[in-house]
Amino acid sequence: MMAHLRLAAALTLALSIFGSHADAGVVLDYSDTTFFDGSSTVRVKAKAALEAAVADINAVIDFNLGAITNDVVTGTSGSTTATIDFRYGYRNPTTNATVEVPNTTMPANEFRIFVGMRPLSGSTLGQGGPGSVGAGFGASGFFNPGEAQAAVTAAAAASEHRRGDGPVMATLSGTVFGSPNDSAYSIEFGPTIGNLWFDDDVDNLGGSDGDAALDSFWHFDHTTAVDAGKNDFYSVALHETLHALGVGGSETWDSLVTNGTDWTGAEAIAEIGSGIGLIDAGGAHITDGTMSFRLSDGMAQEVVMDPSIFTGTRKSLTTLDAAFLRDLNYTTQITAVPEPSSLLAMTLAGAGTGLLRRRKPSHRKTRC
């Protein structure tokens, strides 16, 4: 194991990941929560840790997302005009109610996440994922099959909602306007909005707990080492933000998982040496206990995107987490990676020792 640690220590990155981005990247929306508006030490530190995690993600991903200006698009063929009205939704991070976002537009390179706190059952620390998408259709003019199909196709082609980089979050497809004049459509949606929330029912009694109870359970200060027995807020924020960006919860992710647990993405395979068994049985995470190298200092660490984390520990982004982002069509600023065979050997060695497998009864898992 020491040989692998020496290799990790010798790893050099082409650039620092803790620079700044001129573009917006992930933007946090606090409109559905009052927790992060609080002036108590607990709440100030929680917000700072969350925003530090998002800043570190924004420093790794070069967001190249096109602007969305066309909440409603039209297409015309002959005397027929088809209209598509795009609709987005998310789950309120405080109440879990479904919220529809009216007239959704988005500046270039922005991905908006609605964030909050709410009671979560069992051992779940946080949840995150992309929002929902939909569309309404209309038509006007003289309606015939050929013109209607051409008009729908033209309207779909005018959509800016794929946005360019990043995964396909979802594809809406089907037919509209009814038989015998059915008109087929297929529209891809890229990263646009997401939701993220953290557990504030730390005693699992069914209600939101006060600051004192939260402070005894969560480690909110991302600038200090994690206290023994506490759960690191920064680490969970990293994990759930990446879920919102499509890791484990997008159409592109699903297309790269085969046989339930095998990964076919070229970037991750190049990083670790094999995609066989690289995905957790649940399908939305990297296999528990998978090792990689921290982007911050090149040292060995479990990946951010496996399904759980030990209490009293912190994770930061790794080269393998970044490789998965590239497989999802994001552009990252990471250009130096270890030799695949060495990283695979370290992963297998770590899993075999049992020291890196997180099975303690006090361990709380974070999952989407």
pLDDT, tens only, 281-321: 999 999 999 999 999 999 999 999 999 999 999 999 999 99
Give me 282's structure tokens: 């649940």
The pLDDT assigned to 333 comes to 85
Question: Tens of pLDDT along 278-292?
Answer: 999 999 999 999 999
Lowest-pLDDT range, 29-43, 180-194, 212-226? 180-194
The pLDDT assigned to 142 comes to 75
DSSP string, 286-307: BPTT-EEEBTTT--EEE-TTSS
The pLDDT assigned to 338 comes to 41
Sorting pLDDT into bands at 50, 70 and 90, what band is 345? very low
Taking the CA atoms of the chain, what radius of gyration do you get in angstroms? 22
Give me 67's structure tokens: 């602007």
The pLDDT assigned to 7 comes to 27
Report the distance separating Cα 323 and Cα 52, nearest Å.
21
Give mean pLDDT, residues 248-257. Answer: 97
Helix (H) or strand (E) holding 319: helix 319-327
Sorting pLDDT into bands at 50, 70 and 90, what band is 177? confident
Give mean pLDDT, residues 14-22. Answer: 35
The pLDDT assigned to 178 comes to 67
Total Cβ atoms within 10 A of residue 107: 14
Q: How far is CA 227 from the centre of its chain?
A: 27
Report the distance separating Cα 20 and Cα 16, nearest Å.
10
The pLDDT assigned to 255 comes to 98
The pLDDT assigned to 312 comes to 96
